[in-house]
Amino acid sequence: MTTLFRLACLCLLALAAGCTTAPAARPAARPPLLLVSIDGFRADYLDRGHSPALEALAREGVRGQGLEPAFPSLTFPNHYSLVTGRYPDHHGIVDNAMSVPGLGRFTLGNREAVGDGRWWDEAEPIWVTADRQGLKTATLFWPGSEASIHGHRPDYWLPYDGDMDYDARVDRVLHWLDLPPGQRPAFLTLYFEAVDSAGHYEGPQAAQTNQAIAQVDRALARLVAGLKQRGLYDHLNLIVLADHGMADTPPAQRIFLDDLVDPAHVQVVSTGAIAGIIPAPGHEAEVAAALLRPQPHMQCWRKADIPSRLHYGHNGRVPPLFCLAQVGWLITHNPGTVLHHGKAILGEHGFDNADPRMRALFVAHGPAFRAHARVPVFPNVDVYPLMTHLLGLRPAPNDGRYADVAGMLAPAAR
């Protein structure tokens, strides 16, 4: 049978089945990839002795000396950098809080905004990349996964529920892996927030933070046991990482914007380790003069003057004036707004991403990864091209460099 005749037969069969176009070619079958985020797990937390399951994964597989977050070292910007390979300036989630004409107000707690794809569509997350190329995906609480982005969603996803038990989260991922081959996702995510919450409210050195580390580690042990029971432990690629680290922020170390500018003359978009400020019309020069002069424990810039090494300040969502606190200090409004939900913030992130306290966890294990390997600190935008390589996907445009992380893979997987 000639090649042309075979092609003609295939086309006739497709038409008979009601298809008008040939199905998209799927990448060759590869081991599934599970991406786990432990929010706020600073790189050196792994050495505290409270995470035996995670330590075992690190010993057997790849341990990074640290993962450098993108700037600003905040939760939503960095979770989106991890799955797009783009700096926040390029993917559009430039802060945990944003205010944009025509879109409105974005905050972590604004569920309507979080689920609005217009906030997320300046880049393409890996579940969209995978869906375009014929792979199924499942996300458990990854920022961005609640929205339709470029018309795509994960095949399986849940709206964020911070009250969902960690065992139940693990069991949901294992359930997805139990699905029949035609329904089983090739890429999955899993998310835990306890370490970040404890670091904020108790401080990174607190006993409660160590307890949160142990809590998440028990969930990881349950995951590993479930993978072993299914014969997947050595046949699934697992990446466990964090979005950022955490620094101590003693209550006395606060910078009060109200002491510097008239609150009636500014819109303060965000506060914390960073502050984004929009001067009121007619007060631009006054507000800029007040903020741009030398400030103790804080540096402010016009957005165009933010240091280039931060890869930040060119996106239209970055406010015209931008301030960065010295590590350990927080920018806020006045003494009456220092508390968050009635508690002092004793730990924070969002600071200069080059500071070692902002470095995040990175551990990888599976058939594609080298055994007993240690790798130096690398930027988290490199995780996306690493993952698309593992899944056999053509990556979307990104800022990462696969060549910089290829060395962590076994020779046959490079």
The residues carrying an active-site annotation are 75
**How far, in Å, CA of 262 to CA of 290, rounded?**
10
Residue 118 to residues 103, 128, 136, 144, 154: CA-CA distances in angstroms?
8, 15, 23, 11, 17
250, HSE (Cβ side, Cα atoms, 13 Å): 2
**How far, in Å, CA of 359 to CA of 44, rounded?**
8
Asked if 296 and 280 count as a contact pair (C-beta separation under 8 A), the reply is: no
Burial class (CB in 10 A: 0-12, 13-18, 19+), 54: buried
Place of tokens 């018309």: 151
For residue 334, the SS3 value is coil
Place of tokens 């996907």: 393
**How far, in Å, CA of 84 to CA of 381, rounded?**
7
Do β-strands 104-106 and 298-302 pair in parallel, antiparallel, or remain unpaired? unpaired
Asked if 39 and 192 count as a contact pair (C-beta separation under 8 A), the reply is: yes
**How far, in Å, CA of 281 to CA of 286, rounded?**
11
100, HSE (Cβ side, Cα atoms, 13 Å): 18
**How far, in Å, CA of 64 to CA of 190, rounded?**
20
Partners of 258 in the beta sheet?
none
* Single-letter code of the amino acid located at 142: W
